[in-house]
Amino acid sequence: MASKIKTTGVERVHAATYLRKAVQFCDAAADACAEERYDAAMVLSIHAGISASDAACIGLGTRKCTDSHERAADLLEEIGSHSREFTEAAKQLRLLVAQKNAIEYENKRATRRDAEVGIRRCENLVGWTKNTLATAKLL
């Protein structure tokens, strides 16, 4: 079945660049949380998850052509043939992205707990992406 998600082919070697961004965002999220800047920690966690997802997709040769981050999770599942590990990674991404608008654009402040949960999720996604890219011999 053809993908319903608009994608573009990308050279797989670029996956490492997106992973480096994800690692930087995730590390910065932990630093922001330690400094009690919970909104910044959440936004950085969300973007770490998005970059990690992009890295995994690029590692498998494709990337979404839309700014819809919700579709990024769908693509992640699709490229992984809905396997358990890709479905779990997509779930983690969806949970992060679900908070994006509220934290970035609405009158909602992130709590310490929000930030800590966001950091755990981005750490899980970044770790999973590292393993996925290492298995594909892209790291």
For 4-54, the DSSP string reads SS-EEE--GGGHHHHHHHHHHHHHHHHHHHHTT-HHHHHHHHHHHHHHHHH
Sign of the dihedral through C-alpha 50, 56, 87, 115 = negative
**Is 56 contained in some domain?**
yes
**Is 83 contained in some domain?**
yes
Q: Is the pTM higher than 0.75?
A: yes
* CA dist 3 → 55, 102, 115, 138 (Å): 19, 30, 34, 24
pLDDT for 1 = 44
Q: What is the mean pLDDT of residues 39-56?
A: 96
Q: Give the integer Cα–Cα distance in Å for 88 and 20.
A: 22
**Is 125 contained in some domain?**
yes
**Is 4 contained in some domain?**
no
pLDDT for 78 = 84
pLDDT for 8 = 61
Per the structure, how many domains does the chain have?
1
Q: Tell me, what CATH number does 39's domain have?
A: 1.20.120.330
Q: Give the integer Cα–Cα distance in Å for 66 and 89.
A: 19
CA angle 127, 132, 133 (to 5 degrees): 100
pLDDT for 67 = 63
**Is 3 contained in some domain?**
no
Q: What is the DSSP letter of 99?
A: T
For 110, residues 6+ apart whose C-beta sits below 8 A from its C-beta are: 38, 39, 41, 42, 99, 103, 118
Question: Could you report the per-residue pLDDT of 82-95, keeping only the tens digit for each?
Answer: 889 999 999 999 99
Residue 14 has pLDDT above 50, yes or no: yes
Q: Which of 80, 96, 72, 67 is nearest to 131 (CA)?
A: 80
pLDDT bucket at 12, cuts 50 / 70 / 90:
confident
Provide the domain limits for residue 30.
Answer: 12-135
